[in-house]
């Protein structure tokens, strides 16, 4: 988390209204934290479900369930896409995931960045709020740790 706060924009920095993507290092840390939180939360409900990252840059989010099939994938995706998938789609885009995979011993289905865009809603506003939150966390961390 310390690294995430250090990479976040300084709340005193002017961004000139730019709502570009987040720093790639920040995105990677966010992907790792997101996958870890999902794994812990979902594993409490679905004991045999594993959420992990794959790819050279940890940019593929994988939901693995040994007995995964169309029905379980649809149910899980429905849970993740609650509220029409807007927050889930926005999060996948903001963290720069390249692929979302549902897999099992005899099952594999993947979704690409194009799908995340379709699942998104008011992405620019979502990203602006995410940047604002990251800047606030960074400012709080800096005040509490004595960093410049």
Q: Is the pLDDT of residue 5 over 70?
A: no
| Residue 29 maps to a domain | yes
Determine contact, residues 94/114, Cβ cutoff 8 Å. no
> What domain range is 25 assigned to?
21-141
Structural domain count of the chain: 1
| Residue 84 maps to a domain | yes
Q: Is the pLDDT of residue 110 over 60?
A: yes
pLDDT tens sequence across 124-141 = 998 888 888 777 766 555
| Residue 76 maps to a domain | yes
Secondary structure class of 62 (helix, strand, coil): strand
Q: Say how far apart CA 118 and CA 112 lie, in whole Å.
A: 10
pLDDT tens sequence across 59-89 = 999 999 999 999 999 998 888 887 655 789 9
| Residue 13 maps to a domain | no
Spell out a b/e string for 16-45, using b for 16 or more CB atoms within 10 Å of the CB, else e.
eeeeeebeeebbbbbbeebbeebbeebeee
| Residue 7 maps to a domain | no
| Residue 4 maps to a domain | no
| Residue 15 maps to a domain | no
pLDDT of residue 148: 56
| Residue 11 maps to a domain | no
């Amino acid at each position: 988390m310390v690294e995430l706060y250090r990479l976040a924009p300084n709340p005193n920095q002017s961004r000139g209204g730019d709502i570009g993507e987040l720093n790639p290092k920040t995105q990677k840390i966010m992907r790792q934290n997101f996958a870890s939180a999902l794994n812990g939360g979902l594993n409490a409900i679905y004991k045999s479900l594993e959420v992990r990252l794959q790819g050279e840059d940890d940019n593929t989010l994988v939901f693995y369930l040994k007995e995964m099939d169309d029905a379980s994938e649809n149910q899980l995706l429905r849970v993740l896409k609650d509220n029409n998938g807007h927050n889930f789609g926005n999060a996948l885009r903001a963290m720069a995931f390249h692929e979302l995979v549902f897999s099992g011993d005899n099952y594999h289905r993947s979704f690409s960045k194009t799908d995340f865009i379709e699942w998104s809603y008011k992405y620019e506003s979502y990203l602006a709020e995410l940047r604002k939150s990251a800047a606030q966390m960074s400012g709080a961390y800096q005040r509490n740790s004595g960093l410049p």
